[in-house]
Amino acid sequence: MTAMTLHRPRLKARRLTDILSHGYIWFCLVLFVLPFVALLTQSLGERGGTSGIDNYADVFGSFGDNLLWSFKISGLALLVDLAVCLPAAYALVRYPVPGKRVIFSLLQLPLYVPGAVIGLSLLMTYTFVYPIEFMWGLVLAMSVGSFPLMLTPIVVALKDLPLVFEEAAECLGATKWQAYRKIVFPLIGPGVSAGLLLCFIIVFNEYLVTLFVAPPDLETAPLRVFNLVRTNGLAPSTAALAVTMQLISFVAVLAFFRLFGTRHFKGTYIL
């Protein structure tokens, strides 16, 4: 009896905390999801007598090229990022590079600098070297803007990986390259996949730098959305393209962690 009367008020307080914290989480979720719902509603709006679903036909019709460009640019930029960041991270973590902290901070610069400024400075620096008239200018610009997002998770993963695995591999007769390929790379997989994902999301949705450096005949999906909104306001078909892009990013996140690579390459502890 006494025990029950003693416990009841505490239970009540806990129940109240439960309700409050659940309420808070739902409130945040709604705040977070609402804009997406608004966009979705807009994309299903009727225009000139055609049904809302027809807006999505445009996405794969007249907008199809834009999406294709986006995929192409993102894919190539990711490859460049990987090619730069894998060796760079290894050198930064495993070798006594003098001033490595300063170097690492400097390499983060593209993250702090606004996209428009990056676009301008890229234009100023490189148009004199070569005319940015073809796709590679944009790919390289994207890589410059996004590589810190690839570098940082790989650096963190490498720092967490004890040196002893590489030493064990070398003592067993592996070359440095074999040790890297068979041991280090799989074990930093979660870091690499996190980097790939972050870079993909950023590059795929980027329009500001693209605005500055894209050649005239190249219009990525985000740039198309921006141009359309600027000239026509948010037409339903534009909203449909935007929704599609959101879906692609979202599916990329999900699919990446479910499907990509081996057991250890998946970032299993993120999703």
**Site residues, another protein (CB under 8 A):** 162, 164-165, 167-175, 178, 182-183, 186-187, 262-264
> What b/e readout covers 193-213, taking b as 16+ CB neighbours within 10 angstroms?
bbbbbbbbbbbbbbbbbbbbb
Nearer to another protein, 87 or 162 (CB): 162
Shortest CB 182 distance to another protein, Å: 7
Shortest CB 263 distance to another protein, Å: 7
Shortest CB 92 distance to another protein, Å: 21
Q: Give me the amino acid identity at 250.
A: F
Query: How many Cβ atoms are within 10 Å of 240's Cβ, its own excluded?
Result: 25
Shortest CB 98 distance to another protein, Å: 15
Nearer to another protein, 178 or 232 (CB): 178
Nearer to another protein, 31 or 171 (CB): 171
> What is the rounded CA–CA span in Å between residue 264 and residue 196?
15
Nearer to another protein, 1 or 164 (CB): 164
Nearer to another protein, 169 or 223 (CB): 169
Pair 43, 240: CB distance under 8 Å: yes
Q: How far is CA 261 from CA 71, 83, 103, in A?
A: 20, 18, 31
Shortest CB 257 distance to another protein, Å: 17
Cα 261 vs. chain centroid, distance in angstroms?
A: 18
Nearer to another protein, 169 or 214 (CB): 169
* 3-state percent helix, strand, coil for the chain, nearest multiple of 5: 75, 0, 20
Query: How many Cβ atoms are within 10 Å of 51's Cβ, its own excluded?
Result: 9
Shortest CB 167 distance to another protein, Å: 6
Pair 265, 196: CB distance under 8 Å: no
